[in-house]
Amino acid sequence: MIRRILVAMLALMGLVPVCAMADSLPLVDTETVKDRFVSNPRPVKDIGDPHIIREGDEYFAFATGGPLGFSVWRSADLNTFTKEKALKKVSWASGDYWAPEVYKAGEKFVMFFTARWKETGTLRIGVAMSDAPQGPYEDAIGGPLFDPGYAVIDGSLVYGGDGTPYMIYSRDCSENVVGSYHESHLYGIELAPDLLSVVGEGVLLTAPDHDWELQSGDYHWNEGPFVLTHDGKYYLYYSANGYFQKEYAVGVAVADHPLGPYTKQENNPILNYIEEDGNLLVSGPGHNSFFTVGDELFTSYHTHTYPAAPSGNRQIAIDRAGFHADGTAYINGPTLAPQLRPLADLGLVNHMKTAASDTPNAALLTDGDTCQSDASAAYVFTGSEAAFTWDAPVSADMLLVYPAQGAPLSGQAVINGSLTADFALEAGSKPGQAAVLAFDAVPVTSLTLFFEDGSKTGEVMLLGSVQ
């Protein structure tokens, strides 16, 4: 006690750093919390176009994965999966079963999918129904959902603010020639309330018209649509370039109505390949869809199983996503380093969501964006500590600090003004890597972070059990 009083007096005189008064945070081996993490890619390969739903305590993953019908991969933890048959072949289709998406509609589950129509030999969208998320699914109408007179693929469902259902789909490049290019365009069309027929004609929403979307020679794509609603806006996520290329990537466009008009986000693509020192670490991340767990938003997408040899052999990846305060959409990926499983599944909460701070721009550390794909929303340390407080103590046992775009990271965390621990990551760590401090649970009323000057940090998470 006397030593601490003396140290405090010297600190006030500017003769020793304040941290000299501190005790070490009671750290534990991170192996004790390894079951909280899971890494990409997930063990579902030779697939494409994944779509995951959560029903009860289980996850159901659907994907392109065979010439006839669809399988479903069931999982309790998004790490281990068991495979079952979800939909057998349907009478009107000859093959090319692609891009299944499943939604709960009342007491039923509806699957929209692509297949090749025997009558014309071209691609159309079908619909099937089941009483259970895993199936079995049965063809609902005995033919394609609609026939616009040209090939259509990748049907996705979204509801308008008044409850009206719409389908967003891709007019496939196989039968759409614009000038000297084959192009896939995104369209939207109203659905009947029972989801088994369409109302009116399709409306053009987007076409490949930005430089990053035009990396495929004479073929250009906007495909793989999925629409999220956020703060009254409609966010249309889509993929561009050939699925067999490393440049296959995800962009987003925003509108006030499901049928547009849509404006593409300026920082597209928001999910892209990763190449370091000539080595392709992640290739062709695309055709994504979304699901929520608690208050967390996740996206599933596929990447090439063999990055050095991109092909139709693809695998499932899953990462977090969200929106900045200005409405800009982001995706925390692609990642290869271990990522936290859904917090609701772990019985954990991120206490940073309830922290208060007077530090300028400190909100950039708690907006959910780890800045894996884009460092523009990173917190840049310029000499003042980032300080957070809580009105009442929160129990925590783990701190994660994410550097922006894998930059080197070095700093110190101080809890309750007295418990300290250093954290560091070297340059060249796996994409999405966080500095992780695991410790015996402590009640936390304040957290102060110190970084090397100029450091760019994406996100901070302070985790503890649900109280």
pLDDT tens per residue across span 183-204: 999 999 999 999 999 999 999 9
Final residue of a structural domain among 298, 313, 334: 334
Angstrom distance (rounded) from CA 93 to CA 427: 51
Evaluate if residue 12 carries a pLDDT over 60.
no
How confident is residue 383, by pLDDT bands cut at 50, 70 and 90? Answer: confident
Residue 46 gets the label, from left (phi > 0), alpha (psi -120 to 50) or beta, of left
CATH number of the domain where residue 20 is located: 2.60.120
Stated pTM of the model: 0.94
Report CA torsion sign: 366, 372, 377, 381.
Answer: positive
Q: Are residues 129 and 256 located together in one domain of the fold?
A: yes
For residue 415, being part of any structural domain is answered with yes
Angstrom distance (rounded) from CA 214 to CA 212: 6
Name the token pair of 333: 């990926």
For residue 425, being part of any structural domain is answered with yes
Report which DSSP code applies to 131: S
Q: Which residues pair with 169 in a beta bridge?
A: 187
Name every residue whose Cβ is closer than 8 Å to that of residue 175 and which is 6 or more positions away in sequence. 122, 150, 151
pLDDT tens per residue across span 350-361: 999 999 999 999
Final residue of a structural domain among 334, 367, 398: 334
Evaluate if residue 326 carries a pLDDT over 90.
yes
CB atoms under 10 Å from CB of 465, counted, come to 13
Average pLDDT score, the chain: 93
For residue 384, being part of any structural domain is answered with yes
CATH number of the domain where residue 172 is located: 2.115.10.20
3-state SS, 328-389, equals CEEECCCCCCCEECCHHHHCEEEHHHHCECCCCCHHHHCCCCCCCCCHHHCEECCCCCEEEE
Q: Are residues 330 and 351 located together in one domain of the fold?
A: no
Q: Are residues 93 and 176 located together in one domain of the fold?
A: yes
Evaluate if residue 151 carries a pLDDT over 80.
yes
Number of compact structural domains in the chain: 2
The label of the residue with tokens 């049928």 reads: 259
How confident is residue 428, by pLDDT bands cut at 50, 70 and 90? Answer: confident
How confident is residue 10, by pLDDT bands cut at 50, 70 and 90? Answer: very low
Name the token pair of 148: 């616009």
pLDDT tens per residue across span 98-129: 999 999 999 999 999 999 999 999 999 999 99
The label of the residue with tokens 């979307």 reads: 213
Q: Which residues pair with 165 in a beta bridge?
A: 159
Angstrom distance (rounded) from CA 376 to CA 70: 40
Give me the mean pLDDT over the 251-271 stretch. Answer: 98
Q: Residue 2: what pLDDT?
A: 29
Q: Are residues 120 and 189 located together in one domain of the fold?
A: yes
For residue 340, being part of any structural domain is answered with no
For residue 319, the surrounding DSSP H or E stretch is strand 314-323
Q: Are residues 13 and 45 located together in one domain of the fold?
A: no
For residue 339, being part of any structural domain is answered with no
How confident is residue 454, by pLDDT bands cut at 50, 70 and 90? Answer: confident
Angstrom distance (rounded) from CA 343 to CA 212: 34
Q: Which amino acid is at 254?
A: V
Q: Are residues 373 and 319 located together in one domain of the fold?
A: no
Q: Residue 66: what pLDDT?
A: 80
The label of the residue with tokens 């959902």 reads: 145
Angstrom distance (rounded) from CA 300 to CA 322: 13
The label of the residue with tokens 């073929």 reads: 219
Residue 361 gets the label, from left (phi > 0), alpha (psi -120 to 50) or beta, of left
Q: What dihedral do alpha carbons 131, 132, 137, 139 form, nearest 10°?
A: 30
Final residue of a structural domain among 315, 334, 353: 334
Evaluate if residue 320 carries a pLDDT over 70.
yes
Q: Are residues 305 and 451 located together in one domain of the fold?
A: no
Q: Residue 6: what pLDDT?
A: 29
In this prediction, what percent of the chain has a pLDDT beyond 70?
A: 95
Q: Are residues 152 and 99 located together in one domain of the fold?
A: yes
Identify the CA nearest to 436 among candidates 23, 34, 24, 22: 34
Q: Residue 67: what pLDDT?
A: 84
State the residue range of the domain holding 221: 40-334
Q: Are residues 60 and 204 located together in one domain of the fold?
A: yes
Q: How far apart are the first and last CA of the chain?
A: 33
Phi/psi at 342 (5° precision):
-50, 130
Q: Are residues 158 and 246 located together in one domain of the fold?
A: yes
Q: Are residues 286 and 393 located together in one domain of the fold?
A: no
Q: Residue 21: what pLDDT?
A: 53
Q: Residue 194: what pLDDT?
A: 97
Q: What is the largest CA-CA distance in the chain?
A: 90
Q: Which CA distances in Å does 180 have to 131, 177, 219, 351, 352?
A: 46, 7, 9, 55, 53
pLDDT tens per residue across span 296-311: 999 999 999 999 999 9
Q: Are residues 103 and 246 located together in one domain of the fold?
A: yes
For residue 441, being part of any structural domain is answered with yes
